[in-house]
């Protein structure tokens, strides 16, 4: 696949109403670009190939022509909500079919569509998917103008949030204010820089020491101990012990008052939390899952 960076949204605090915008569900999964040329590939935003979703690959092969599309791979719970923890479980156990929600098309039959307005691109995409009638590749639908009501519904249904997109926006491989994201709760990607020794009867590790990048330096943002079961702790420890290092990766070494094992800052995870404190720490962070679709250097405070 040609190395195209996806268009990224800017986080804003409040929903709004505007006739020049559409609003979609913010899917809680892995961002993925799909391409059909000689064969079909599904790749992450940092250009890693997703081999672990063969059912999606097989369905993408049924879509006619040559194309590049943009979307999100998710797992749905019993209420039809995307659930990142279920996606993590699928990585381990391969239980349940993942779904690829597609929301944009960049190229079609040799034509670059990125210069077209969003609504024209989505019209082409919707028609292409409609003809194919797929089970695990779906069009990510939208509503127009009424962002406030849509956000209230997303919060009521327990969704991660909503996306807001300008109807006439072009597709640009950068972070832009033509696409916005509004979250119903606090979520943040963080880089793992170390782990503490376990206490009591807890196995493998105590807590993760995490941070975000600021001006090229990894800045400590707190420790994450909640959100793991025993199997999850074991899997995390197996990953971390392979990248142990003597040097602290943070710009300023934190003091968690317990023995720490430092690791090279390569792994990214996502946490949910109550708020940012005035000194830049995550308050009450809970581990949600690993982000295999993002590079550590891309992780900054949202």
* Active site positions, annotated: 26
Token pair, residue 94, equals 């391969």
Which are the contacts of 238, defined by CB distance < 8 A and separation ≥ 6?
A: none
Query: Taking a C-beta distance cutoff of 8 angstroms, is the pair 227, 210 a contact?
Result: no
Token pair, residue 276, equals 């940012």
Query: Taking a C-beta distance cutoff of 8 angstroms, is the pair 128, 151 a contact?
Result: no
Phi-psi region of 248 (alpha: psi -120 to 50; beta: other; left: phi over 0): beta
Give phi and psi for 179, each to the nearest 5.
-120, 130
Residue recorded with tokens 């317990």 = 258
Burial of 283 (0-12, 13-18, 19+ CB in 10 A): exposed
DSSP string, 170-207: ---SSEEEEEEEEESS-EEEEEEEEEEPP-TT--S-S-
Distance CA 243, CA 84 (A): 25
How remote is the C-alpha of 98 from its chain's centroid? 15
100, 107, 126, 113: which is closest to 22 by C-alpha? Answer: 126
Give phi and psi for 238, each to the nearest 5.
-60, -40
């Amino acid at each position: 696949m040609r190395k195209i960076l996806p268009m990224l949204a800017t986080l804003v605090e409040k929903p709004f109403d505007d006739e020049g915008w559409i609003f979609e569900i913010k899917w809680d999964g892995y961002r993925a670009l799909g391409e059909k040329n000689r064969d079909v590939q599904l790749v992450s935003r940092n250009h890693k190939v997703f081999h672990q979703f063969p059912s999606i690959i097989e369905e993408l092969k049924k879509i006619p022509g040559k194309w590049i599309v943009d979307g999100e791979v998710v797992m749905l719970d019993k209420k039809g909500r995307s659930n990142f923890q279920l996606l993590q479980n699928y990585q381990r156990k391969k239980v349940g079919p993942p779904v690829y929600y597609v929301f944009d098309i960049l190229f079609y039959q040799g034509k670059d569509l990125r210069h077209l307005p969003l609504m024209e691109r989505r019209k082409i995409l919707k028609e292409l998917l409609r003809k194919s009638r797929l089970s695990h590749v779906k069009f990510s639908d939208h509503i127009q103008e009424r962002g406030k009501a849509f956000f209230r519904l997303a919060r009521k249904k327990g969704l991660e949030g909503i996306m807001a997109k300008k109807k006439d926006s072009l597709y640009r491989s950068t972070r832009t204010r033509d696409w916005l994201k509004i979250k119903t709760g606090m979520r943040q990607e963080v880089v793992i820089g170390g782990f503490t020794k376990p206490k009591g009867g807890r196995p493998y590790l105590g807590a993760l020491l995490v941070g975000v990048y600021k001006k090229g330096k990894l800045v400590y943002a707190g420790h994450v101990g909640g959100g793991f079961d025993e199997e999850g702790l074991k899997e995390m420890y197996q990953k971390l012990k392979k990248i142990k290092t003597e040097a602290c990766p943070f710009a300023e070494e934190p003091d968690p008052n317990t023995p720490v094992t430092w690791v090279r800052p390569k792994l990214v995870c996502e946490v949910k939390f109550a708020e940012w404190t005035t000194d830049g720490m995550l308050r009450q962070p809970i581990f949600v899952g690993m982000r295999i679709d993002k590079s550590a250097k891309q992780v900054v405070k949202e």
